[in-house]
Amino acid sequence: MITSEIAAPYDEVLSDAKHRFPEVFHPGLHKRICRVAGWVLFVAWVAFCLFRMEPSIPCLWQGIGRLGWLFQFLFPPSHGGYLAEFSYALLETVSMAFLGTFLACIAAVPLGFLGARNVIGNPGVHFGVRRFFDFIRGIDTLIWALVFINVVGLGPFAGVMAIAAGDMGMLAKLFAEAIENMDAHQAEGVLSTGAKRVQVICFGILPQILPVLLSNALYFFESNTRSATILGVVGAGGIGMQLADRIRINNWDEVSFIVGMILVTVAAIDWLSRVIRMRVIKNPEYRF
Amino acid sequence: MLFSIWPHTWTLRTTGERKFCPPLLTRKTDVEKAYSSLVLSKRRKGIVFGLLFAGALAGSLLVSEVDPNKLLKGLPGLFDYGLRAAPVLHMKSLSKDLEGWYWGLGHWLSLLLDTFCIGFMATLLGTAGALFLCFPASRNLMDQFPIYCLSRRLMEIERSVPDLVYALIFVFAFGLGPIPGVLAIAIHSMGALGKLFSEVNENIDLSPVEGVRAAGGNWFQVIRYAVIPQVLPNFASYALLRLEINVRSAAIVGFVGAGGIGQELFFVIRQFVYTDVSAIVLLLIVTVSLMDMTCERLRHLLIGKELR
């Protein structure tokens, strides 16, 4: 059957296909107009964007030339005798991420309870608290870093506070959702044995939410290590400060060395967090 | 619980052979022994984890120069910052106060449009680059291992370096303005999108691919007529998701001099113009969340089309 179809003359197959799927070969007028209008709008918008950005060709060429020029200085990477300093800065970065995530988690627990519909029933309060979370996580970590530099001064402490503030909203939201989605039977079971309210929270609610919190905390620690590397660019401590300095003073071999160190560290943290997650959360035998 | 810790092979006393039989619950001492050893091992694990955690905490407290005095001083400072940043609005002269708060609205909106343009152009370039890289980086479409490996590694390098670092380097090369921002975000999102795209490619139905191959199509024709029609809705959805992320980053790369509203925000934060800070941040949040909502609706439309 199939062989006979293939053996049929090409024109015959084509006309058969045209007969069976006319809209593929001759799309309707409406469809064609929509397609053309879409492309015209798209091209117009791109042209508008280019017009706003005013990229001048000589400027672009010059930039590419300079990029090529500095590219040859990137290799070979060298630490220029600052290996200890870089390592310490990297340690600072990782500890900023760790402490920031830790603080954010601690703050997110009570906030999550406040934002959960089944803990606080008042819809007005619920709406207000949720919008507050949205507001906090709408502000980027780097903006928080700038604000905290104004408040507590330059240094890694500002970075810690920035990470904690930036993540608090997101973690609190996730945590509130976890509380809303939990199974009420477990809490009822604990309640039926005559437990007090605190005991219901400790033995009925927290065991259900802790795995969610822990796995999210690990994810956030991972992503915070990435964002902590750039917090230093605005002066909040860590490896980013060294990186921005080296770029400013044109030491490109050290720049590439620092970038390499960052990549290795981030990969190592990813691996570590994956191992911990596998051990603690994915393991069905493990109970809190 | 009890059965899971119990050894299922049991030596029969009478014949001495090992054979599966259910545990004898009457042998209480064994139950207790197993239980207590389980509890002990769990407690040991808990102590080890706790000690490691406490060590990491103490170390990081030391390294990041956390000082309770600073914190105690800092928290009221933050509160004070919030108070200063909050606009003074009276019910009587609300419109006038709002006008005073948003005195530079026209200028800021134009900068915001710049930021959106940067994010859009970066997404466009990044998507184009990712389209170029994702097909060689899919295991099922590329049988030349070196090319596969090369494109994968290239994407990894592109996405592991934060866009702010690229922006710093490009600002050095191209000078201040939106161009370095576009290029920096484009390169980062090329890596991130390329990975997602190639994952989509690896999950396609291969029978159209075989069909085009059987009809004598070359590699490019296979991609064009067998792969792209399958993956396009997913690609578009990921690109829209990336647009949201990129507009946020476009506001951030402005901090290092790459144009847009970020540059202005950096300036007013550094100059302690408190009410301007709150005005711009609020404007930014509103814009970003409006865009998030639009993109989400569009994405659902695209994916719904695919499902139907």
Question: Which ipTM did the prediction report?
Answer: 0.78
pLDDT of residue A202: 81
Which one of A53, A96, A230 has the shortest CB-CB distance to B178?
A: A53
Average pLDDT, rounded, for chain A: 82
pLDDT of residue B16: 53
Find all residues with CB under 8 Å of A146, minimum gap 6, and list them.
A234, B255, B266, B269, B270
Range in A136-140, A210-214, B47-51, B53-57 with the lowest mean pLDDT = A210-214
Which one of A45, A150, A244 has the shortest CB-CB distance to B81?
A: A150
pLDDT of residue B124: 94
pLDDT of residue B123: 94
- The CA distance from B114 to the nearest CA of chain A, in Å, is 7
- The CA distance from A38 to A44, in Å, is 10
Interface test mutation site (partner B, options A14, A49, A239, A247, max chain B beta carbons within 10 A):
A49
Is B64–A159 a contact, with Cβ atoms under 8 angstroms apart? yes
Chain A with chain B: Cβ pairs closer than 8 A: 154
Q: Residue B208, preceding bond cis, omega within 30 degrees? A: no
pLDDT of residue B19: 53
- The CA distance from B32 to the nearest CA of chain A, in Å, is 19
pLDDT of residue B8: 44
- The CA distance from A228 to B9, in Å, is 53
Interface test mutation site (partner A, options B64, B255, B273, max chain A beta carbons within 10 A):
B64
Range in A3-12, A119-128, A202-211, B129-138 with the lowest mean pLDDT = A3-12
pLDDT of residue B46: 85
| Mean pLDDT, residues A115-129 | 81
Per-residue tokens: B216:
């004598």
Is B266–A146 a contact, with Cβ atoms under 8 angstroms apart? yes
pLDDT of residue B7: 44
Is A152–B121 a contact, with Cβ atoms under 8 angstroms apart? no
Which one of A160, A234, A255 has the shortest CB-CB distance to B64?
A: A160
Query: Using CB atoms within 10 A of its CB, is residue B242 exposed (0-12), middle (13-18) or buried (19+)?
Result: buried
**Does residue A145 surpass a pLDDT of 50?**
yes
Architecture of domain A83-280: Orthogonal Bundle (1.10)
Picking from A238, A226, A217, A227, the residue whose alpha carbon sits closest to that of residue A267 is A226
pLDDT of residue B22: 54
| Mean pLDDT, residues A174-188 | 83
- The CA distance from B126 to the nearest CA of chain A, in Å, is 14
Contact B168, A243 (CB under 8 A): yes
pLDDT of residue B5: 42
User: Which residues of B are less than 8 Å from A88 in CB distance?
Assistant: 63
CATH 1.10.3720.10 domain position(s) in chain A: 83-280
| Mean pLDDT, residues A239-266 | 86
Spell out, as residue ranges, where chain B has pLDDT lower than 70.
Answer: 1-28, 304-308
Which one of B60, B113, B161 has the shortest CB-CB distance to A259?
A: B161
**Does residue A277 surpass a pLDDT of 80?**
no
Is A135–B285 a contact, with Cβ atoms under 8 angstroms apart? yes
| Mean pLDDT, residues A88-99 | 89
| Higher per-residue confidence, A63 vs A7 | A63
Interface of A with B in 205-244 (CB under 8 A): 226-227, 229-230, 233-234, 237, 243-244
Which one of A60, A95, A140 has the shortest CB-CB distance to B64?
A: A95
pLDDT of residue B120: 92
User: Which residues of B are less than 8 Å from A101 in CB distance?
Assistant: none
Helices (H), A54-205: 57-74, 83-115, 123-138, 141-152, 156-180, 184-192, 197-200
- What pTM did the predictor assign? 0.78
Q: Quick check: A247 contacting B, CB < 8 Å?
A: yes
Contact A259, A250 (CB under 8 A): no
Per-residue tokens: B307:
């499902």
